[in-house]
Structure 1
Amino acid sequence: MVYVYVLASYFIGTIMTAYVVMKFMKGEDIRKLGSGNVGARNAGRLLGKKGFLLTAIGDVLKGILVVAGAKYLGFSLEHQILALIAVVVGHIWPITLKFKGGKGIATAAGGLVVVAYQPFLVFGGIFLLLLVILRSFTLAGMTAFLTVPFIYWFMDYSLYECTLVFIVIALLLVAHRDNLKEKLARKII
């Protein structure tokens, strides 16, 4: 049952909110516009605040619903995080859009809040501090996300749970690798 749920979580992740919102609002394929990314930032650039908010909310809800459903079904914390990994993978590499999806931040954040809100609150504080220091949403976010497995570790979660959370974060870093290279190059130069 757990593995069927994890597989279903992947397919929930493949429901690309930005793609649906763009089709509904403009009748166009978001992959052919702006940055070509199927995420909230590109939707916001192309559709304004309404497009950004609808996309962000839809993407966050994917993570929330998958983890909340796993909790409701009585799955262990490890299995809840596996479902989160699957929905994030589905968002980043959706079979429905030839494996070219979004970056996974909103979906991961929504799921991590439901997995355990206490570590997420610490992450939020670290993110805000880094945002003030680095003045870059991307660098602050990615750096703060790197701390999440350690936050779980210091809050006495098991090594297995911390490792699974690390996998979620590693997926986000892989999805953002080009953005990070560009941002770091600008900061260094």
Structure 2
Amino acid sequence: MHPGDCVLESLLAIVLWIFSYLLGSISAAILVCRLFGFADPRSEGSHNPGATNVLRVGNTFAAALTLVGDVAKGVVPVIIARRLGMPESMAALCGFCAFLGHLYPVYFDFRGGKGVATAMGVLAILHWPSMLVVGAIWLLVFFSTRFSSLASIAAFFLAPLIMLITHPELFHPILVLSLMLLFRHRHNILLLIKGQEQGFRLPPKD
């Protein structure tokens, strides 16, 4: 490869990573709650700007919009990277940057969510069979316990192992993503150990 091509490819990768982070920083939960006049999800319920908490402080439709927005943030950067001919490892890093933006959004004082839906979006576009397995684990744990935090912890504790079995080339980026997601759930882990975590309850009907 010509040295100039290497430089252009590197610059393109950097631009894509920055774009992915900025896209990930757009908080669907906060914007949807503002649109519908609900309380800021960072100040009510579980204080997490994610779809589950929007369902607590708002309604089902608002939560669905939030979920779609958060998943899309993980999907779009990977698709763009692939369309531009970037290697799969670079595309995975674009997805990770979007995930990082969701966790630490530059637009919202770096106070973001825990990244579960965005991580699922990244998994879905990188290797959808693995996402189906991780999603099935989430659903099984959630409907068994009614703890969305425990479901997320279990699903992404196992996600690197699942990726190692199904698509080992992407093991390392999914491992780092999962470790960060588990770190963001550290408070929930402590509450679960103490038996103080709040189970999910549907909000009152509008």
Q: TM-score, normalised by structure 2?
A: 0.81
Q: Give me the whole-angstrom Cα distance separating, in 2, the residues matched to 1:36 and 1:175.
A: 13
Compare CA radii of gyration and give the structure with the larger one. 2
- Percent identical: 32
**Which residue of 1 is the match for residue 177 of structure 2?**
168
Q: Which residue of 1 aligns with 2:113?
A: 102
Give secondary structure in 2 for the equivalent of 1:18. helix
- 1:19 CA drift (Å): 1.0
State the 1:79 CA deviation: 0.9
SS in 2 for 1:99: coil
Once residues 27 and 128 of structure 1 are traced to their aligned partners in structure 2, the CA distance between those partners, rounded to angstroms, is 27
Partner of 1:40: 51
Cα RMSD over matched residues? 2.2
- Stretches of structure 1 that go unaligned for 5 or more consecutive residues are none
Q: Which has the higher helix share?
A: 1
Task: Say how many residue pairs are matched.
Answer: 186
Aligned mates of 1:138, 1:28 — CA distance in 2: 21
- How far apart are residue 27 of structure 1 and its match? 7.0
Aligned residue type for 1:10 = Y
**Do the aligned residues in 2 keep the contact of 1:81 with 1:115 (CA within 8 Å)?**
yes
Counterpart position of 2:156: 145
Deviations 1:73-130 (A, max 9, x none): 2221111111111111100111111110111100110111000112222223333444
| 1:60-71 matches, cutoff 5 A | 60-71=71-82
Structure 2 residues without counterparts, runs of 5 or longer:
1-11, 197-206
Indicate if the aligned counterparts of 2:116 and 2:181 stay in contact, CA closer than 8 A: yes
Task: Name 1:6's counterpart in structure 2.
Answer: 17
Q: TM-score, normalised by structure 1?
A: 0.88
Residue matched to 2:84:
73
Shift of 1:165: 0.8
1:184 is matched with which residue: 189, 193, 198?
193
CA distance in 1, matches of 2:55, 2:72: 18
